[in-house]
Amino acid sequence: MKQKTTRLFFIDVMRAWAILMMLQGHFIDGLLDPEYRILNNPTFSTWLYFRGITAPVFFTVSGFIFTYLLIRVPEKGWQNSRVKKGIRRGLQLLLIGYLLRMNFLALLTGKIYDSFYLVDVLHCIGLSILSIIAIYVLTSKRKTWVLPMVLASTTLVLFLFEPFYKNWSFSFLPDALANYFTKTNGSVFTIIPWLGYTTIGAFISVLFTKYKNYKLLYPAAISIAIIGGVSLIFLSSDAFTLLYEFTQIELFRLIPLNNYLFIRLGDVLLVFAIFMLLRRLMTHTTLLKIGASTLSIYVIHFVVLYGSFTGLGLYRFLHHQLPPSIVIPGAILFMFVCTYLSLTYNKYETQIKSQWGVFAFSAKQQVILVLKAIEPNARLLLSRVRLLLHRIFGIARN
């Protein structure tokens, strides 16, 4: 089906859905009283399962969107302007990830908590973007099939060997670096295996770009996503068990013991299928704006819920204290407030940045004036200090 626009609206709406599910998931998980966390309760177990889908979808969609924008331009390799933009974006996400874990009140007393060095969603997505750029640049002069093959292979290797490396502590690395690879110190997400979801998202975007003018693109994509998703969810564990019985390779025995990576990938494919099926209904302006505002929504929710910068968030005062009758409507209100604040900020972002630029320029000019005013006295003080040091060390030598 020939598209009138290169924009894939269903992807934007998927990203909006994922960020909203992340908001309610973090709110309920952080504030719900443990008394109500009953695994054999159908309502709680269903919520818990669907909460587990959110992060894989978010990572996969992030890899899809970035790669889709990266490869749709004719320039290749370093000549592609998206490469430098992507590097800046990746580094920006890493910086914001650390800033959100910074407690400035503690910093004033000279303290940096260990939680500052932990790795979360933004760190992983930022590093994943840089990794995709590296793969893209290294394969840009190769055959066109090399890029998707490397992307898919990266996902396969990370998912297959997870039973081995998940127990590595990476103790030979400083904690700040080890936290990118192990949850031993408390990191929520790690680059391995979560990079695998962004690379599979990138792989899917390559296929979409290649076959974008194919008349049966969506029927074929939806069918493949449904078949692949159902197979991964219900058949992948049995398939690995059969592989073990046939080959006696220990890895194939270990994977089904905790086969969450392939099962969650199946969930992601089914979510893709659902949103592709409903794609004609997903052009509402507000939904598209939410999908384009995930970073600001994430930052706002982190500040309000976890108390970034000050340590004064809902998590500190209401951690695991609320019953479902309060936490459920609270989660809905939390989603609305964070989204509203984000969209309001984006609406006036240009004016805010402009005013901040004026303020920064004014502050710079004031600093320059102060430095010029104290320059003569500073020179005099410096000459006297030099004379004093000369006399002291001169006496010492004598």
337 within a domain of the structure (yes/no): yes
Could you tell me if 337 and 304 are in contact, meaning their C-beta atoms sit under 8 angstroms apart?
yes
Distance CA 134, CA 86 (A): 11
* pLDDT value at 5 more than 70: no
* pLDDT value at 141 more than 80: yes
Q: How far is CA 143 from CA 138, 342, 355, in A?
A: 11, 42, 48
* pLDDT value at 379 more than 80: no
More confident residue, 175 or 353: 175
Closest by alpha carbon to 195, among 130, 124, 264? Answer: 124
**pLDDT band, residue 1 (cuts 50/70/90):** very low
* pLDDT value at 354 more than 70: no
Residues 132 and 92 in one domain: yes
* pLDDT value at 388 more than 70: no
Residues 375 and 254 in one domain: no
Mean pLDDT of 337-353: 81
More confident residue, 257 or 347: 257
Which of 77-81, 150-154, 283-287 shows the highest mean pLDDT? 150-154
Residues 379 and 347 in one domain: no
Tens digit of each residue's pLDDT (9 = 90 or more) over 232-268: 999 999 999 999 999 999 999 999 999 999 999 999 9
Q: Which contacts of 94-102 are long-range, i.e. CB under 8 A and separated by 24 or more positions?
A: 94/122, 94/123, 94/126, 94/127, 96/122, 96/295, 96/299, 97/121, 97/122, 97/123, 97/126, 98/123, 99/308, 99/309, 100/299, 100/302, 100/303, 100/306, 100/308, 101/308, 102/308, 102/309
Residues 377 and 337 in one domain: no
What is the pTM for the complete model shown?
0.85
pLDDT at residue 225 in the model:
96
Backbone torsion region of residue 320, taken as left when φ is above 0, otherwise alpha when ψ lies between -120 and 50, otherwise beta: left
Mean pLDDT of 20-37: 94
**pLDDT band, residue 185 (cuts 50/70/90):** confident
Mean pLDDT of 378-384: 68
Number of structural domains the chain divides into: 2
pLDDT at residue 385 in the model:
67
Residues 377 and 339 in one domain: no
Residues 354 and 378 in one domain: no
Percent of the chain at pLDDT > 90 equals 62
Which domain covers residue 397, as residue numbers?
361-398
* pLDDT value at 73 more than 90: no
Mean pLDDT of 160-173: 90
173 within a domain of the structure (yes/no): yes
**pLDDT band, residue 389 (cuts 50/70/90):** low
Distance CA 12, CA 288 (A): 6
pLDDT at residue 3 in the model:
42
Residues 246 and 385 in one domain: no
33 within a domain of the structure (yes/no): yes
Distance CA 283, CA 288 (A): 7
Owner of token pair 């290749």:
76
Residues 194 and 89 in one domain: yes
Residues 262 and 395 in one domain: no
- SS3 track for 305-324: HHCCECCCCHHHHHCCCECH
4 within a domain of the structure (yes/no): no
Residues 356 and 370 in one domain: no
pLDDT at residue 242 in the model:
96
pLDDT at residue 390 in the model:
66
155 within a domain of the structure (yes/no): yes
* pLDDT value at 4 more than 90: no
1 within a domain of the structure (yes/no): no
Dihedral sign, Cα of residue 224, residue 227, residue 229, residue 235: negative
Indicate the average pLDDT of the chain: 87
Tens digit of each residue's pLDDT (9 = 90 or more) over 84-134: 999 999 999 999 999 998 877 777 777 777 788 899 999 999 999 999 999
3 within a domain of the structure (yes/no): no
Residues 65 and 190 in one domain: yes
More confident residue, 381 or 278: 278
Tens digit of each residue's pLDDT (9 = 90 or more) over 272-321: 999 999 988 888 888 889 988 999 999 999 999 998 888 788 998 999 99
Residues 386 and 253 in one domain: no
Which of 163-172, 266-275, 342-351 shows the highest mean pLDDT? 266-275
113 within a domain of the structure (yes/no): yes
